[in-house]
Amino acid sequence: MTVSGFGAKAMVFAHGFGCDQNMWRFVAPAFADRYRIVLFDHVGAGGSDLSAYDPEKYSSLDGYAEDVIEICRELKIQGGVFVGHSVSAMIGVLAAKKASDLFDRLVLIGPSPRYIDDGDYVGGFSEGQIHELLDFLDSNHMGWSQAMAPVIMGNPNRPELGEELTNSFCRTDPEIAKRFARATFLSDNRADLAEVQARSLILQCSEDVIAPPCVGEYVHRAIPGSEFVLLDATGHCPNLSAPEETIAAMEAFVQA
């Protein structure tokens, strides 16, 4: 965990699957003059303590939400801003549901409450596609990382971005990554959205294979009073590919 910046109010950044706190290096500094900046790695990622991993606890996103609450309690955070990318958007929703005093604002970047299509709900993947993806990861972590990371990142004209995400995926503990992928891609947090009390901003990329625009719009409709911004950015990681646009949307939200 890294704590920096100035200000009484905290801004907690949570990274997505296969990433670590370094993914915020272009965004977090923009807020360090006004906020206490909190960066951390989910168990199994970055510099986290692998011995802290409990397969039962982390079999669902609730275990990760409990970690967010524990970090915030340790730092005596109340009424902070939570910034969650990808799966961490739902982890933040769960944390805010369990401990409503922690955050008065949520910034959800590329959120998806359910990745699998279900009736009228479009998550972006069929159940078969998700199980193929998980089976591929189970059998060949490195191959999966090299194949999937550039697709997730998008921006093929900037191959260095896909390469960074590939390297990040490959650094993640393989066994934990497999379990985290199941907790992520088989999750269904649609029912949790209506209970969000914090002011919420949904940041959606205009092209995103992991969380297509219709998913971001669904989250916006489901969270009472939420704001929605469709970014010009493409891919699933605007914190890396379009940090200036991401910062500008966040600034408008936190200052309002």
Instruction: Indicate which residues carry an active-site annotation.
Output: 86, 208, 236
Backbone angles phi, psi at 75, to 5 degrees: -95, 5
Give the side-chain half-sphere CA count within 13 A for 209. 11
CA–CA distances in Å: residue 22 to residues 14, 78, 201, 226: 10, 24, 22, 28
Crossing angle of helices 127-139 and 141-153, rounded to 10°: 130
CA end-to-end span of the chain: 29
DSSP symbols for 18-73:
T--GGGGTTTGGGGTTTSEEEE---TTSTT--GGG--TTGGGSHHHHHHHHHHHHH
User: What is the Cα–Cα distance from 62 to 184, expressed in whole angstroms?
Assistant: 11
User: What is the Cα–Cα distance from 115 to 214, expressed in whole angstroms?
Assistant: 12
Cβ proximity of 150 and 156 under 8 Å: yes
- Vertex 38: Cα angle to 35 and 42 (nearest 5): 155
Q: Where are the beta strands (DSSP E) in the chain?
A: 2-5, 10-14, 36-39, 80-85, 103-109, 199-207, 227-234
